[in-house]
Amino acid sequence: MNLHLEMTRHRDTLIVRLNGELDHHTADDVRLRMDEEIARGDCRHLILSLESLQFMDSSGLGVILGRYKLIKQKGGKTVVCGMNPSVYRLFEMSGLFKIMSTYENESSALSELEVAQ
């Protein structure tokens, strides 16, 4: 299975939608594309929309943690939304919920980030 990556911006927030499998086969490409987009412009916050992500392994967790650190260095927040139960469980077991908030959908995540500014 492949991974489809879609990125859009809303003001200073980058929204990344992942569809497919984020694993050791796709992690490097996702990492590079996200880093390029974060470096390209005025990107302060990151929303990871994972409702169409069917599978993720530890390589995917590494990508997400690395982007979290990049955004944190810029003084921003990384949040996730729309997770299926297996991806939710992986986040829970890895402890990522201790550093990232989760929201039901993109609009609620975006609203929360705009209020926080």
Please give the average per-residue pLDDT across 6-20, as a whole number: 95
pLDDT at site 116: 60
Which of these, 44, 47, 19, lies nearest to 111 by C-alpha position? 47
Domains and CATH numbers, the chain: 3-116 (3.30.750.24)
Residue 9: predicted pLDDT? 93
Alpha-carbon span 60 to 3, nearest angstrom: 11
Count CB-CB contacts under 10 A for residue 109: 25
Give 117's pLDDT tier (boundaries 50, 70, 90).
Answer: low
The burial of 115, by beta-carbon neighbours within 10 Å (0-12 exposed, 13-18 middle, 19 or more buried), is given as exposed
Q: What is the pLDDT of residues 40-91, one digit of tens each?
A: 878 999 999 999 999 999 999 999 999 999 999 999 999 999 999 999 999 9
| Percent helix, percent strand, percent coil in the chain, to nearest 5 | 45, 30, 20
At 18 the pLDDT is: 97
What value does the mean pLDDT of the chain take? Answer: 93
